[in-house]
Chain A
């Protein structure tokens, strides 16, 4: 008769050592279907450890990467995916493996106020997807994500540019905004960079350069609010009352101390 313990937990699960590669594979898939991705990843890893040369080893490798990624175990997912790309570079799943590597970084991009090392890694791995597997169906999505990471890196330059602008170090600010204008001109940050250049040059008293920046802004982004702001600045009068919060003492305290904004 079945022991009490078995009654509750069902037949004792055979230890992994006793199972064949395909049985372990099925257990992994079952666990994945049941939503316990991390356990599934561990099971797939066992196949690679016990039967490294079986046909299942290759499948298990990519499945372990997928399961770890879904389970949020980004470092494990990355090392499994890297192993796959290294062992089977020209296989049809290699594109997906490289894509997983990129996603492990992309999902963890931190906001612009903080270290952008992860963003740079994401950009590098996403570019690798597009470069090595251009016609895989992951290339299109990777290209899209590349634009977003570029926009994010531009956002970091803007944050530091605004830091110097606010403190009156206008030449430092100009150089930061120029990086955005030169290297990130396709991103959503470019119009603001041009307006900030107008502000900085004007603050230095270099009207000619301020007008030049505003002209480029008007020419490329005629409808943008930033062009309206530059235009007002140059003409010295507020055409449309700026919808900015009133800039009294308490609103500045609220914005900077409570909300943690930089300007």
Chain B
């Protein structure tokens, strides 16, 4: 029972990437050649990022990201490609996520409510004693 890998996201193949020429290609030609990015900058569109992640699933271990490729295409102010960079898993920073969350409200499903909603369906197993 070997671990099985799942690839997520999308990164253009090296041959297609090679055809992007900084200083020449524009945002629309990049989109035509390698499609739209998985994610972009939140506030300005100077950076387009194509992200592909490989996750290893192995029995009861927590699914682990074992490889990630990030292709960053940055544009200058008149939408011409400035640079195409490649980041790997090692460039990412291990981030300790804050566990606190902003509160939200809304009706929670309470224990009582769920039990009450089960009233009426009797489990046959208890009605007919079920021995081996």
Contact = CB atoms under 8 A, between A and B. Distances in A.
State yes or no: do A and B touch (Cβ within 8 Å): yes
Interface of A: 108-112, 114, 119, 148, 151-152, 155, 158, 162, 165-171, 174-175, 177-178, 181, 188-189, 191-192, 194-195, 197, 199, 201-206, 208-209, 212-213, 216, 225, 229, 233, 242, 244-245, 247, 255, 261, 263
B107 A204 contact: no
A171 B97 contact: no
B100 A244 contact: yes
Nearest to B98: A229
Contact of A169 (B41, B53, B87, B94): B53
B9 interface: yes
A199 B95 contact: yes
B104 interface: yes
B9 A208 contact: no
B93 A189 contact: no
A189 B104 CA distance: 9
Contact of B107 (A109, A209, A233, A247): A109
Given A169-B9, A171-B51, A205-B70, 17 more contacts: A112-B104, A158-B102, A162-B97, A162-B101, A168-B65, A171-B38, A174-B39, A177-B42, A192-B102, A203-B95, A205-B91, A206-B47, A208-B47, A209-B42, A244-B98, A245-B99, A255-B99
B112 to A, nearest CB: 16
A171 B39 contact: yes
Nearest to B41: A209
Interface in B41-68: 41-44, 47, 49, 51, 53, 55, 63, 65, 68
B87 A204 contact: yes
B21 to A, nearest CB: 22
Contact of B109 (A114, A225, A261): A114
B125 interface: no
A162 B38 CA distance: 17
Which label, helix, strand, loop or mixed, suits the secondary structure of the B interface? loop
A240 to B, nearest CB: 13
A42 to B, nearest CB: 24
Contacts of A165: 97
> DSSP majority for the A interface?
helix
B98 to A, nearest CB: 5
A206 B107 contact: no
11 contacts: A111-B104, A151-B104, A169-B53, A174-B39, A177-B42, A202-B95, A203-B94, A203-B95, A204-B51, A213-B43, A244-B98
B101 A192 contact: yes
A152 B69 CA distance: 34
B3 interface: no
A50 to B, nearest CB: 36
A110 B106 contact: yes
Given A152-B106, A205-B70, A212-B41, A199 B51 contact: no
